[in-house]
Amino acid sequence: MIETFNDLMLGFSVAFQPQILMYAFGGCVIGTLVGMMPGLGPLAGISLLLPATFGLNPIVAIVLLAGVYYGAMYGGSTTSILMRIPGEAASVMTCVDGYEMTKNGRAGPALAIAAIGSFFAGTVGVIGLMLLAPTLASFALRFGPPEYTALLLMGLFVLAYMSGGSMLKTLAMAVFGLLLGMIGIDIMSGYTRFSFGIVELGDGVGIVSVAVGLFGISEILLTAGNQDTPKVQKPTLRELIPSKEEFRLSAGPIMRGSLLGFMIGIIPGSAHIISSFVSYGIERRMSSHPERFGHGAIEGVAGPESANNAAATGAFVPMLALGIPTSPVTAVMIAAIMIHGISPGPMLIQEQPELFWGFVASMYVGNLVLLILNLPMVGLFVNLLRIPYAYMYPCILAFCILGVYSVSNSMIDVWIMLVMGGVGYVLRKFNYDLAPVALGLVLGPMLELSLRQSLALSGGEYGIFLERPIALTMFGLGGLLLLLALKPLIFKSKDWRSKVGLEDVAD
Q: Please give the residue ranges that form the binding site for another protein (CB under 8 A).
A: 51-52, 54-55, 166, 168-169, 171-172, 175-176, 178-179, 182, 186, 188-189, 191, 193-194, 217, 220-225, 390-391, 393-395, 397-399, 401-402, 405-406, 409, 411, 414-415, 418, 421-422, 425, 429-432, 444, 447-448, 451-452, 455, 459-462, 489
For the bound state, the minimum distance from the C-beta of residue 469 to another protein, rounded and expressed in Å, comes to 23
> Please, which residue, 149 or 309, has the CB nearer to another protein?
149
> Please, which residue, 233 or 408, has the CB nearer to another protein?
408
> Please, which residue, 126 or 417, has the CB nearer to another protein?
417
> Please, which residue, 292 or 452, has the CB nearer to another protein?
452
For the bound state, the minimum distance from the C-beta of residue 249 to another protein, rounded and expressed in Å, comes to 39
For the bound state, the minimum distance from the C-beta of residue 363 to another protein, rounded and expressed in Å, comes to 23
For the bound state, the minimum distance from the C-beta of residue 401 to another protein, rounded and expressed in Å, comes to 6
Q: Please provide the size of the chain in residues.
A: 507
For the bound state, the minimum distance from the C-beta of residue 484 to another protein, rounded and expressed in Å, comes to 17
> Please, which residue, 233 or 410, has the CB nearer to another protein?
410
Q: Which of 348, 336, 311, 299 is nearest to 70 (CA)?
A: 311
Output the furthest CA–CA distance in the chain (Å, rounded): 71
Q: Which of 109, 388, 152 is nearest to 248 (CA)?
A: 109
Residues 285 and 35: their CA atoms lie apart, in Å, by 29
Cβ-based burial of 262 (10 A; exposed 0-12, middle 13-18, buried ≥19): buried
> Please, which residue, 11 or 181, has the CB nearer to another protein?
181
For the bound state, the minimum distance from the C-beta of residue 67 to another protein, rounded and expressed in Å, comes to 16
For the bound state, the minimum distance from the C-beta of residue 183 to another protein, rounded and expressed in Å, comes to 9
Q: What single-letter DSSP state applies at residue 383?
A: G
Residues 149 and 453: their CA atoms lie apart, in Å, by 9
In which element (H, E) is residue 192 found? strand 192-193
CA distances from 263 to 101, 136, 496 (A): 29, 14, 16
SS3 at position 165? coil
> Please, which residue, 204 or 346, has the CB nearer to another protein?
204
> Please, which residue, 224 or 368, has the CB nearer to another protein?
224
> Please, which residue, 211 or 260, has the CB nearer to another protein?
211
Residue 289: left if φ>0, alpha if ψ -120 to 50, beta else—which one?
A: beta
Residues 183 and 256: their CA atoms lie apart, in Å, by 43
For the bound state, the minimum distance from the C-beta of residue 258 to another protein, rounded and expressed in Å, comes to 35
Q: What radius of gyration do the chain's Cα atoms show?
A: 22
SS3 at position 195? coil
For the bound state, the minimum distance from the C-beta of residue 454 to another protein, rounded and expressed in Å, comes to 11
For the bound state, the minimum distance from the C-beta of residue 164 to another protein, rounded and expressed in Å, comes to 16
Q: Which of 296, 309, 252 is nearest to 121 (CA)?
A: 309
Q: Which of 95, 34, 120, 22 is nearest to 64 (CA)?
A: 22
Residues 210 and 404: their CA atoms lie apart, in Å, by 9
> Please, which residue, 5 or 54, has the CB nearer to another protein?
54
Q: Which amino acid would we find at residue 171?
A: L
Check: CB of residue 97 under 8 Å from CB of residue 297.
yes
